[in-house]
Amino acid sequence: MDTNLKIKNEIVALLKKHGVKINAEDLREPPEAEMGDLSLPCFVLSKELKKAPEKIAEDLAKEIKPSDLIINIKNIGPYLNFLLDYSKVAEMIFLQIKKERGDYGVNSNGKGIKVMIEYSQPNTHKEFHIGHVRNVAIGSALVNLYRACGYKVIAANYLGDIGAHVAKVLWYMMNYVNETDIGPDKGEFLGQAYVRAVEELNGNPELQAQVQDILKRLEEGKDKDLMFLWQQTRKWSLDAFNKIYDELDIKFNIDFFESVEEKDGKKMLPELMKLDFIKESEGAIIADLEKYKLGVLVLLRADGTSLYGLKDIPLAIKKFKKYKVDKSLYLVDTRQSQYLEQIFKILELMGFKKEMIHVPYEFVELKSGIISSRTGNIVTYEEVRDAAMIKVANETKERHADWDEKKISEASFKIFLAALKFGMIRQAGDKIITFDLEEALKFDGFTGPYLQYTNARLNSILKKADEQGIKISGKFDYRALGANIEKQLIKDLIFYPQIILMTQQKNDPSILAQFLFSICQNFNTFYHELPVLKADENIKLARLVLIKSIRQVLENGLVLLGIPILKEM
Ligand code: ARG
C-alpha cells in the first residue's frame, strides 16, 4: 500500500480511538517543516464538536498519546501537528520501493477508461522544426503518464497531408523544379520548396489561383500525374517524420490523415447542412457560431475545396464511435484554442457531447545566434541535433578517452535527447520557451543532462559499494538517517506517487520534470554534505538504501518523461 496513505491511516485510526472521526484527505503538509510532518486543520471538526478549532487542537494535543509511528503531537493555533518517527517511515517507504521497483508511483485511477491522446500532428510537405519537438515531448510523456495511472491509451498522430500547404509545394514543384534539383534529403527539399513557394505566391493572386486549382484537383483525385506527385512527395515527408520519431523514440498506435478525413467530411456535408447553424454564404459553407460568441468557421470554400475544420468533425466522431474511447485529448498549439472551441461546439450542437479536451502549449523560440538556419527563421530538428552532437561528442570524448567511437556517439545521443526533451517539458505549456541549446546541454542546471548525471552518480556509488562487497539488503537501523536533508529526501520519495497523479490530472508533465529536478538537487546537497562509503557501518548501510531508493524513483520518472538513462557519463 501507498506509504503516504498508510501513515495517514495510522493517524486516522489514532484519532478514532479518541472518538474523533476524520478522513485521510483532511491531513495536510504543514506550511513550515518545524510545525511537524502532517497537520490536521481542526476547522474540519469544529462543527461536529461544537468547539473553536483552537480549543479542539489544544484538547486533542493533551489527550492523544503518541503511537508507534507518531512520536509527538502538538497544537499550534487551530492546527494539530504530528511528528513522525522518520526511521519507521523510512523503513516503510524503502520496503515499498524495493517491492514495487519500476511500478513504484503508478496507480489504477484510470482503470477501465480509454483515452485517445492525439499529438504531434505535423503537416507533410513542411519541415519538422524545433517547435514540433515540444509537442512530441509533452505528448509522449502524457501517453506514458496516463498509462501509469491505469488508463488504456491510444496514442494517435494526425498528419496534415492535404490542404493549401500541400498544394503550394506541388505547384512549386510543377513550375520551378527539375528532377535534378532534388537532393538526397527529401524532407529538407520539401521544406525549402514550401518556403520558396510562399515567397513566390506572396501578393500574386494570379499564381494563388493556380494553387487553388491544384488543391481542387487534388481533392477530386482524378489527375493521375498530380496524384502521383502527391503520393511520392507525401511519402518523402512521412519517411522523414518516421525517421525523427524513431530517433526520438516516439511511438503511435494509430495514424490519422487529413486526406482521409477530408473525404469523410465531404460525405457528412448533407447531414451537416440540415443543422440550422450551418449555412451557405457566398457559395461557401460556414458554421455560424456568433450566437455562442465563437465567430464563424468556414468549412468548405466556394470552389468545393475543404478547410481544416471540415476534417476535424468526422475525426472527432470516429475517435469515439470506431475506437470507443471515453475521452479524447488534443495536444495542440495555443493558437488553435478558439478553433478547437469552435469544433467542440459544432459537435455539441450536433448532439455529440463527449469529453474532448484541448491541451494547449505555447510556441518555441530560438535564442538567435546559436544555431542559424538556411531556411530563414525555421530551425529544424536535424539542425539542432547536428549542432548538439558535435559539441556533446567532443565533451564526452574528453571525459572518456578510453571509450570507442560507438560508445561515445551512443552516449552523446542520449545526452542530446535528454537535453532536448527535458528542455521542452520543464516549463508548463502556458509559457513560451526560448530554447537555448547551450543551456539545455549543461550538466549543472535545470536540464535533462543534470538528471542523467545525478542518476549516473547514484549508480556509481552503488557500484562502488558492490565492488567493496557491501550487501544492501535486509533490515537496517534507519535512525541513522537523522539529518534534515535525509528527511527531505525520504519525504520526496513518499511524495512521488502523488506527483504522478497530479501530473496526469493536470496534463502537465512539467510538474514531474520539476519534481525530479528538485529530488536531484536534494540528493546532491546530501552527497556534498554527508559521507556515504566512508561513514560508519550502520550509517553507511542506511544511506546506501536511501540512495538505491532515490535511484529507483529517478529512473521511474525519467522513463515516464521519455528521457534515456545512462549508467555512466
Ligand atoms: N496539423 C495541424 C497543424 O499543423 C495540427 C492538427 C491538430 N489536430 C487537430 N485534430 N486539428 O496546425
Task: Classify residue 441: in a domain, yes or no.
Answer: yes
The answer to whether residues 465 and 430 belong to one domain is yes
- Which of 279, 281, 271 is closest to 313 using CA atoms? 271
pLDDT for residue 529 is more than 90? yes
The answer to whether residues 479 and 415 belong to one domain is yes
Question: pLDDT by residue (tens digit) across 237-256?
Answer: 999 999 999 999 999 999 99
The mean pLDDT value for 526-531 works out to 98
Query: Which atom of ligand 1 lies closest to the CA of 159?
Result: 1
The mean pLDDT value for 138-159 works out to 98
Distance 113 CA to ligand 1 centre (A): 25
pLDDT averaged over the chain?
95
pLDDT for residue 122 is more than 80? yes
The answer to whether residues 361 and 395 belong to one domain is no
The answer to whether residues 32 and 67 belong to one domain is yes
The closest residue, in CA terms, to atom 9 on ligand 1 is: 312
Give me the domain span that covers residue 433: 381-561
The answer to whether residues 365 and 502 belong to one domain is no
The mean pLDDT value for 521-550 works out to 97
CA distance 346 to 341: 9
The answer to whether residues 62 and 198 belong to one domain is no
Any idea what the CATH number is for the domain that residue 36 is in? 3.30.1360.70
CA distance 494 to 97: 9
Query: Which atom of ligand 1 lies closest to the CA of 316?
Result: 10
Task: Classify residue 311: in a domain, yes or no.
Answer: no
Q: Looking at residue 334, what DSSP letter applies?
A: G
- Residue 164 is which amino acid? A
Distance 451 CA to ligand 1 centre (A): 32
Distance 4 CA to ligand 1 centre (A): 41
pLDDT for residue 374 is more than 70? no
The answer to whether residues 448 and 356 belong to one domain is no
The closest residue, in CA terms, to atom 11 on ligand 1 is: 312
The mean pLDDT value for 513-532 works out to 98
Question: pLDDT by residue (tens digit) across 309-337?
Answer: 999 999 999 999 999 999 999 999 999 99
Residue list, ligand 1 pocket, CB within 6 Å: 118, 121, 123, 158, 160, 312, 330, 332
Q: How many Cβ atoms are within 10 Å of 343's Cβ, its own excluded?
A: 23
pLDDT at 368: 60
Residues in the chain: 569
Distance 135 CA to ligand 1 centre (A): 11
pLDDT at 373: 36
Distance 33 CA to ligand 1 centre (A): 47
The answer to whether residues 209 and 356 belong to one domain is yes
Count of domains for the chain: 3
CA distance 399 to 557: 27
Question: pLDDT by residue (tens digit) across 471-488?
Answer: 987 678 899 999 999 999
Question: pLDDT by residue (tens digit) across 288-305?
Answer: 999 999 999 999 999 999
Q: Among 57, 84, 111, where does a domain finish?
A: 84
HSE-CB for 111 with a 13 A CA cutoff = 4
The answer to whether residues 340 and 442 belong to one domain is no
Q: Among 41, 65, 84, where does a domain finish?
A: 84
Task: Classify residue 150: in a domain, yes or no.
Answer: yes
pLDDT at 76: 94
Which has more pLDDT, 380 or 454? 454
The mean pLDDT value for 154-161 works out to 98
Q: How many Cβ atoms are within 10 Å of 344's Cβ, its own excluded?
A: 21
pLDDT at 30: 86
Pairing mode, if any, of strands 433-435 and 364-366? Answer: parallel
- Which of 203, 227, 196 is closest to 214 using CA atoms? 227
The answer to whether residues 386 and 353 belong to one domain is no
Alpha-carbon distance values, 4 to 27, 37, 455, 517 (Å): 11, 11, 24, 21
pLDDT for residue 370 is more than 60? no
pLDDT at 379: 84
Q: In what order do the strands lie in the sheet with 327-333?
A: 254-257, 152-159, 114-118, 327-333, 355-361
Task: Classify residue 463: in a domain, yes or no.
Answer: yes
Any idea what the CATH number is for the domain that residue 459 is in? 1.10.730.10
Distance 457 CA to ligand 1 centre (A): 41
pLDDT at 1: 67
The answer to whether residues 67 and 179 belong to one domain is no
- Degrees to nearest 5, angle at CA 368 with 364 and 374: 90
Model pTM greater than 0.75? Answer: yes
Task: Classify residue 376: in a domain, yes or no.
Answer: no
Query: Which atom of ligand 1 lies closest to the CA of 340?
Result: 11
Q: What are phi and psi of 286, to 5 degrees?
A: -130, 155
The answer to whether residues 232 and 349 belong to one domain is yes
Task: Classify residue 267: in a domain, yes or no.
Answer: no
Q: Which of 336, 338, 339, 343 to mutate to test the pocket of ligand 1 (most atoms within 8 A of CB)?
A: 336
Distance 134 CA to ligand 1 centre (A): 14
- Which of 197, 192, 215, 311 is closest to 261 using CA atoms? 311
pLDDT at 475: 74
